[in-house]
Structure 1
């Protein structure tokens, strides 16, 4: 089994590192689901910190709660992990990859893995049902984020093939969205074309085909989203550039603080523009 580094978010790489560290400290010959759980919970991300607090989970206490039996266990290698993984851990990772693909994403994150751990029953012996439910609702789903635009600075390395959408692009943009993401955004996008002032930017490739889009003020004033990039173009900086172009335009419209609606790749927005997750009350 191979997990390429390029397909892991930075936080997921940290979580795997924490899991391997726990595995070594426990003297285990294989990486077990329990180690993976601790790695995800202890990765240092803001959502995991919030989830642990709401659940009342203490990592040090959690480490003392599980007991592993290694008899009759088969295992295999999983690159880039140094320690062999158990068959159960392999099943968890495969389920996490399935979630990633179902969400039309290309980077495995700790939310996918945590959800797989819970949904496959690997946490039942060490976490309560209430704790599992809180983790699912806080750390494995899209979250709204907020950004202070008064401290945001325009980026210089933005792609040049991004422009504001016009009426001639309307049909092509709707086709692109349906092809890549289904029909969930199409009605909102169609309504936006009726407004006198557009809030949609698109990115085209050398052939003139749309490969990405981003919008704001679609659902509510001061809200960014949706945004989407063609699956085969997501490692080319298109999403970052679309985001920055929109943020500059929102600044010019006088917004001081904005909300990023239903941010799926939370780590992307934290890294790209220093956005923060809106806490769940």
Structure 2
């Protein structure tokens, strides 16, 4: 999949283990899209479990559906699998990586793969149109999350060069956001910088260049964390984790007991880093 090594979230890694188990159960020669579908549906993800419950997806029915005749001479090895994958599956994974990169993320998750599976047309026999639409609308997108700060205590910080933004940083921060994130959060950051006491933290490298930021309450609504972003070249260094907890600690000190993370993309990151919980879909 592409030239650079793709990382997996823990839930996606688990989905692959489950897909391989399904492949063995069916005595297939390679991982097929339906095996990957079952793996993604059975891994431990709140949003997928929620979608299964509300849309009536029956994993056992999918498992027992007869698989159309497959061409088994088109197998290929894959870096994340211990078994051969079919060319159809490889195409799905390539498309999933494209979604991941489109969101400026570095970890492949089950949402990326489910979206690719649905859009590929390879699982038409296993899900209804309504079930596919429900998955696309609720299990493959960003979701609002909530963090309970009642018992919160600041975790051990993993990156040291974090500080509150200063007036002299404003222009550089705006430029950083525009360069790294195509200006997606420029207006939000400008609103935050215009406040008397901006609630924005920045991360810098040893030379003093901005490599990440996190903000809260930048708009008119109080008790909201975000946006947050870290330079692509500095991911997986604990910068995002530290920025998040700097903000959570300060929000706790200001008296917040519960806060909202709006449109959280890497859901699993926030679940593991701060015990954030996805806000359920209203029914």
**Shorter-chain-normalised TM-score: which range?**
over 0.9
Greater alpha carbon shift after TM alignment, 22-31 vs 57-66 = 57-66
- For the pair 1:105 / 2:114, whether they are aligned, the reply is no
- For the pair 1:257 / 2:258, whether they are aligned, the reply is yes
Q: Is the 8 A contact 2:15 2:42 kept in 1?
A: yes
The count of corresponding residues between Structure 1 and Structure 2 is: 281
Q: CA deviation at 1:4?
A: 8.5
- Aligned residue number for residue 271 of structure 2: 270
Match runs of 1:162-181 below 5 Å? 162-181=162-181
- For the pair 1:130 / 2:130, whether they are aligned, the reply is yes
- Partners of 1:57 and 1:280 lie apart in 2 by 16
- Partners of 2:74 and 2:156 lie apart in 1 by 52
Judged with a 3 Å threshold, the aligned counterparts in structure 2 of structure 1 residues 232 and 5 are, in CA distance, closer, same or farther, namely closer
Equivalent position SS for 1:279: coil
Equivalent position SS for 2:52: helix
- Partners of 1:206 and 1:29 lie apart in 2 by 51
Structure 1: 4+ residue segments shifted above 6 A: 2-6
Q: Which runs of 5+ in 2 are unaligned?
A: none
1:1-45 deviations in whole A, cap 9, x for unaligned?
A: 689987111111000011001110111111000000000010011
- Partners of 1:4 and 1:55 lie apart in 2 by 36
- For the pair 1:39 / 2:34, whether they are aligned, the reply is no
Judged with a 3 Å threshold, the aligned counterparts in structure 2 of structure 1 residues 71 and 189 are, in CA distance, closer, same or farther, namely closer
1:67-110 deviations in whole A, cap 9, x for unaligned?
A: 24234541111123111000100100000011111111111111
Q: Is the 8 A contact 1:19 1:35 kept in 2?
A: yes
- The TM-score with structure 1 as length reference comes to 0.96
Equivalent position SS for 1:70: coil
Judged with a 3 Å threshold, the aligned counterparts in structure 2 of structure 1 residues 45 and 72 are, in CA distance, closer, same or farther, namely closer
- Partners of 1:45 and 1:72 lie apart in 2 by 31
- Partners of 1:70 and 1:77 lie apart in 2 by 17
- Partners of 1:3 and 1:109 lie apart in 2 by 18
Equivalent position SS for 2:107: coil
Equivalent position SS for 2:157: coil
Q: Is the 8 A contact 2:30 2:72 kept in 1?
A: no
Q: Is the 8 A contact 1:7 1:108 kept in 2?
A: yes
Greater alpha carbon shift after TM alignment, 26-35 vs 67-76 = 67-76
Match runs of 1:172-211 below 5 Å? 172-211=172-211
- Partners of 2:173 and 2:6 lie apart in 1 by 29
Equivalent position SS for 1:133: helix
Greater alpha carbon shift after TM alignment, 4-13 vs 167-176 = 4-13
1:126-154 deviations in whole A, cap 9, x for unaligned?
A: 11111000000111000000010012221
- The TM-score with structure 2 as length reference comes to 0.96
Equivalent position SS for 1:147: strand
Q: Which runs of 5+ in 1 are unaligned?
A: none
Q: CA deviation at 1:54?
A: 1.3
RMSD (CA atoms)? 1.5
- Partners of 2:63 and 2:275 lie apart in 1 by 32
Q: CA deviation at 1:196?
A: 1.2
Q: CA deviation at 1:158?
A: 4.0
- Partners of 1:120 and 1:174 lie apart in 2 by 38
Equivalent position SS for 2:242: helix
- For the pair 1:235 / 2:229, whether they are aligned, the reply is no
